């Protein structure tokens, strides 16, 4: 039997282990992907630290997968070997729960998550349900495509469904893995884009990414500054700091919407009066399905949006993960899986 490399987490809190195992075979409705690259996401810590209820170990993490269809199982009509594909957080839906019956697959009660419900992309090969596949355009390399399949879709899909229209004031809070993509998407969608980050060093970067305004939350009050600019139609919060999120809510304009895509462990604090007097709202946004991923990739080609990545080989996954968790990476960390 041919062997492959995989990087698994043996138990909650356990170390990453580089192992060899047999190359798996796709069952009915599944395809096998030969992985070319896999981005490392902050959510991979759910696997590493055991924070996902019911997760079965050992588990191979990774839900920013880009590769090539390598083998196709029975009853898969729409994909063939050799196609370039990607898989993100959405890893398949059940088709029979109430959300699925209403056509909302990302809120499926039995949602499969790539790298959590089954082994993900920290490996040479992986098996996925065909419904989880997104087509990767020729113009994108595998390492370009990887981060767009979680950090990219999350910000792109939240913004395009936000209700903001061309010319509206849209603020992105946080200029990290998600935020540096959010700024690019917002600018390319035609919004008057504001980037909010801590410290002055990101000012010139965000202007290069397309932001019209930069607010340094260390020296300025972001809510006051947004209000001076007319109040935001949408604020996309990509940070994992509840205080930073709470601090911007006052910068929403009439009918403004604070969209949460980062996940702080602490609760948010907002003024009820601020919400009700100007019909402001706070909502969350859960990435999207495989066709949303495909749209994200296609738009990124169309508009020239790219993630800035630090690349590591698969066998240095542990080091790459630590780099991502340190918050110092500029801005995503991607495993390139040659051979
Ligand atoms: Zn992710
Ligand atoms: Zn379902």
Task: For the chain of 339 residues, list the mean pLDDT of each consecutive stretch of 10.
Answer: 95 98 97 98 96 96 98 97 98 98 98 98 98 98 98 98 98 96 98 96 94 97 98 97 94 97 92 93 96 98 98 98 94 89
Cβ-in-10-Å burial (0-12, 13-18, 19+) of 236 comes to buried
pLDDT of residue 265: 87
Q: How far is the CA of 150 from the centre of ligand 1 (A)?
A: 5
Distance CA 15, CA 249 (A): 39
Cβ atoms of 302 and 279 within 8 Å: the answer is no
Q: Tokens representing 85?
A: 């594909």
Contacts of 305 (CB under 8 A, 6+ apart): 148, 152, 181, 184, 185, 188, 299
Which ligand sits closest to the CA of 102? 2
Give the distance (Å) from ligand 1 centre to CA of residue 43. Answer: 5
Q: Ligand 1 mean position to 325 CA, how many Å?
A: 13
Task: Report CA(92)–ligand 2 centroid distance (Å).
Answer: 9
Alpha-helix runs per DSSP H in 91-178 = 98-101, 142-147, 153-160
Cα 55 to ligand 2 centroid, rounded to whole Å? 19
CA–centroid distance, 213 to ligand 1, in Å, is: 27
Note the pLDDT of residue 62.
Answer: 98
Give 289 Cα–ligand 2 centroid separation in angstroms: 12
Q: Which residues pair with 235 in a beta bridge?
A: 171, 258
Per DSSP, 16 falls in state: P
Ligand index nearest the alpha carbon of residue 92: 2
CA 94 to centroid of ligand 2, rounded, Å: 4
Please tell me the distance from the alpha carbon of residue 166 to that of residue 163, in angstroms, as a whole number.
Answer: 10
CA dihedral 19, 318, 330, 157 (to 10 degrees): 60
**CA 6 – CA 314 distance, rounded (Å):** 8
pLDDT of residue 292: 98
CA atoms of 256 and 275, how far apart (whole Å): 9
pLDDT for residue 338: 74
Task: Indicate the pTM of the whole model.
Answer: 0.97
Please state, as a whole number, how many other Cβ atoms lie within 10 Å of the Cβ of residue 122: 30
Beta bridge partner(s), residue 172? 195, 236
State the angle between helix axes of 153-160 and 290-303 in degrees (0 to 180), rounded to the nearest 10. 90
User: 210 C-alpha to center of ligand 1: Å?
Assistant: 24
- E runs forming strands in the chain: 3-8, 17-22, 30-40, 65-72, 84-87, 125-129, 134-135, 169-173, 192-197, 213-216, 232-237, 252-260, 281-284, 309-313, 332-336
What is the dihedral sign for C-alpha 141, 142, 143, 144? Answer: positive
């Amino acid at each position: 039997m041919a062997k492959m490399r995989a990087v698994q987490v043996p138990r909650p809190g356990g170390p990453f282990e580089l192992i060899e195992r047999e190359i798996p075979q796709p069952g009915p409705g599944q395809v096998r992907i030969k992985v070319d690259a896999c981005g490392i996401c902050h959510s991979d810590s759910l696997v590493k630290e055991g924070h996902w209820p019911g997760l079965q170990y050992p588990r191979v993490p990774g839900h920013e997968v880009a590769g090539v269809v390598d083998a196709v199982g029975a009853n898969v009509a729409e994909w063939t070997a050799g196609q370039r594909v990607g898989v993100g957080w959405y890893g398949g839906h059940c088709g029979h729960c109430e959300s699925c019956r209403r056509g909302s697959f990302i809120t499926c009660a039995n949602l499969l998550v790539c790298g959590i419900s089954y082994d993900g992309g920290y490996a040479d090969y992986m098996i996925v349900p065909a419904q989880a596949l997104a087509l990767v355009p020729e113009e994108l390399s595998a390492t370009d495509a990887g981060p767009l399949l979680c950090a990219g879709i999350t910000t792109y899909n939240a913004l395009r469904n936000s209700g903001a229209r061309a010319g509206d004031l849209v603020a992105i809070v946080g200029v990290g893995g998600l935020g540096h993509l959010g700024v690019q998407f917002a600018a390319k969608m035609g919004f008057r884009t504001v980037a909010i980050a801590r410290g002055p060093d990101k000012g010139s970067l965000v202007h290069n990414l397309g932001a019209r305004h930069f607010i340094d939350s260390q020296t300025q009050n972001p809510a006051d500054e947004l209000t001076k600019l007319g109040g935001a139609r949408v604020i996309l919060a990509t940070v994992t700091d509840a205080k930073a999120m709470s601090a911007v809510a006052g910068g929403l304009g009439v009918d403004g919407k604070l969209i949460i895509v980062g996940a702080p462990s602490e609760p948010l604090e907002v003024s009820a009066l601020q919400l009700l007097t100007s019909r402001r709202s706070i909502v969350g946004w859960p990435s999207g399905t495989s066709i949303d991923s495909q749209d994200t990739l296609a738009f990124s080609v169309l508009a020239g949006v790219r993630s800035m990545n630090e690349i590591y080989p698969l066998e240095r996954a542990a080091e790459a993960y630590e780099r991502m968790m340190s918050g110092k990476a500029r801005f995503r960390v991607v495993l390139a899986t040659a051979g």
